Amino acid sequence: MDYSEVSTLVHPLFRVSNFLSTQSNEDLINEVYCGLTAKQKYISSKFFYDEKGSSLFEEITCLPEYYPTRIEKSILKTNTQKIIGEFEKLDIIELGSGDCSKISILLDAIPLIKMAQIHYIPVDVSETAILKSADILSLKYTGLSIHGLLADFLKHLYQLPCDGNRLICFFGSTIGNLDRKQSIDFLLNLKKLMLPGDRLLLGLDMVKDKQVLSNAYNDKQGVTALFNKNILNVVNDIAETNFNLHNFEHLAIYNEEKERIEMHLKALDDLVISSKLFPEKVLLKKGETIHTENSHKFSKEHISYFGSISGLQIKETYTDDKQYFSVVEFEF
């Protein structure tokens, strides 16, 4: 793997560097085939986010049952001044930046005359997302300098620039998609790159009443079901498979022991999935599931454990009155 910068796009108002040495299609097909032939079949959650999937996810964030986005934003709104603090120069790095609504909450609290002291670095695998938010933010916040990184934050962390004190933001409880060990490794890697004065803002969806959790992933309008099933369209595009979405049912179950929501797609019939790009046909039994996502939930104990194991200091935990969601501020 070559991790060096592949290309840079220079726009009058911002810059975007591409570090994604695109995974070859052959690798992707192999990855899909491996998952579909495992004992518990699975498809990696990274395949959710094609254009349709990203727009379905945005729809999810507006659903009445899906509280995380709304609550995280309200926590940010309530605590912006404390979070931003005093600065001469500030680099705001946002991992998995997606749309720019969360960072806008922070930027709204900064006086315009200080905008030129801020450098915003959105990091995302979606070029569309980076370009769109850079466009919006560069017009909205005059003086703000923007340098987008088209990168996989699990692989390209060490590319993060450093020329000020840095506020690294990882919102949305996206860390919950990793398994527990991967999330620790991620924090350890991040810690290695951090310097005195740097901070990490980590958004975490908390363990709570399991009906509330289950409802957030089983919305009445069925948007989450569409989002889950859309992964089969993405796989059909990449691997030329013949998945028919009508043959599957959306499942989202809270696994209490592992404190996570698991999303699956359940076959409603015996199915034969074929592709000329696969070495063999894939058989699915009626009732068999394909695991598509884990969304881990966190407790105060997890938060202290993150602090002690990473060696980062917990400076503050911002939360809402029901303690549904936390934004934890770690210091080097």
Interface with ligand AVJ by CB under 6 A: which residues?
A: 60, 68, 172-174, 176-177, 217, 224, 293, 295
Q: Residue 144 or residue 234: which is nearer to ligand AVJ going by CB?
A: 234
CB closer to ligand AVJ out of 67 and 120: 67
Task: Report strand pairing: 7-10 vs 118-124.
Answer: unpaired
Edge-to-edge strand order for the sheet containing 289-296? 41-42, 289-296, 260-267, 248-255
Contact status, residue 35 vs residue 41, Cβ threshold 8 Å: yes
Q: Which of 329, 270, 283, 277 is nearest to 81 (CA)?
A: 329
35-67: b (≥16 Cβ within 10 Å) or e: bbeeeebbbbbebbbbeebbebbebbbebebbb
Least Å distance between CB 93 and ligand AVJ?
Answer: 18
Minimal distance in Å, beta carbon 295 to ligand AVJ? Answer: 3
Least distance CB 324 / ligand AVJ (angstroms): 12
Our CB check for ligand AVJ shows the closer of 142 and 255 to be 255
Instruction: Compare residues 72 and 91 and give the one whose CB is closer to ligand AVJ.
Output: 72
Cα separation of 247 and 243, whole Å?
8
- Rounded to the nearest whole angstrom, what is the least distance from the CB of residue 303 to ligand AVJ in the complex? 17
User: Residue 246 Cβ, how far from ligand AVJ at the closest point, in Å?
Assistant: 20
Contact call for residues 254 and 209 (beta carbons, < 8 A) = no
Whole-number minimum distance, CB 229 to ligand AVJ, in Å? 12
Tell me whether residue 230 or residue 295 sits nearer to ligand AVJ (CB atom).
Answer: 295
Q: Which is nearer to ligand AVJ, 35 or 68 (CB)?
A: 68
User: For residues 199 and 314, what is the distance between their CA atoms, to the nearest angstrom?
Assistant: 10
**Closest residue to bound ligand AVJ by CB:** 295
